[in-house]
Amino acid sequence: MAQILDGKALAAEIREGLGREASALAQNGITPGLAVVLVGQNPASQVYVRMKRKACAKAGIAAIDHDLPAETSEDTLLQLIDQLNADPKIHGILVQLPLPKQIDEARVIERIDPAKDVDGFHPVNVGLLATGKPCFVSCTPAGIMELIDLAGIDIVGKRAVVLGRSNIVGKPVAALLLARHATVTICHSRTEDLAGEIARADIVVAAIGQPEFVKGSWIKPGATVIDVGINRLDDGRLVGDVEFDAAAERADAITPVPGGVGPMTIAMLLKNTVEAAKRTTVR
Residues that bind ligand GUN (CB under 6 A): 94-97, 119, 139-140, 168
Nearer to ligand GUN, 2 or 261 (CB): 261
Q: How far is the CB of 196 from ligand GUN (least distance, A)?
A: 30
Cis check for the bond before 98: say yes or no (omega within 30 of 0). Answer: yes
Please tell me the distance from the alpha carbon of residue 147 to that of residue 267, in angstroms, as a whole number.
12
Query: Catalytic pick from 6, 8, 46, 52?
Result: 52
Q: How far is the CB of 134 from ligand GUN (least distance, A)?
A: 20
Cα–Cα nearest to 53, from 277, 227, 273? 273
Q: How far is the CB of 36 from ligand GUN (least distance, A)?
A: 9
Please tell me the distance from the alpha carbon of residue 265 to that of residue 26, in angstroms, as a whole number.
24
Nearer to ligand GUN, 143 or 216 (CB): 143
Q: How far is the CB of 166 from ligand GUN (least distance, A)?
A: 9
**Active site annotation includes 3:** no
Query: Catalytic pick from 46, 58, 82, 96?
Result: 96
**Active site annotation includes 96:** yes
Please tell me the distance from the alpha carbon of residue 100 to that of residue 175, in angstroms, as a whole number.
29
Q: How far is the CB of 42 from ligand GUN (least distance, A)?
A: 9
Nearer to ligand GUN, 68 or 97 (CB): 97
**Active site annotation includes 52:** yes
Which parts of 7-151 are beta strand (E)? 33-39, 62-68, 92-95
CB-facing half-sphere around the CA of 193: CA atoms within 13 A: 5
Query: Catalytic pick from 117, 119, 202, 241?
Result: 119
Sign of CA dihedral 86, 88, 92, 93: negative
Closest residue to ligand GUN, based on beta-carbon distance: 97
Q: Identify any residues that bridge with 162 across adjacent strands, giving them in sequence order.
A: 186, 205
Nearer to ligand GUN, 111 or 220 (CB): 111
Are residues 195 and 163 in contact, defined by beta-carbon separation less than 8 angstroms?
no
Please tell me the distance from the alpha carbon of residue 187 to that of residue 163, in angstroms, as a whole number.
5
Please tell me the distance from the alpha carbon of residue 271 to that of residue 273, in angstroms, as a whole number.
5
Nearer to ligand GUN, 129 or 168 (CB): 168
Give catalytic residues, as residue numbers. Answer: 52, 96, 119
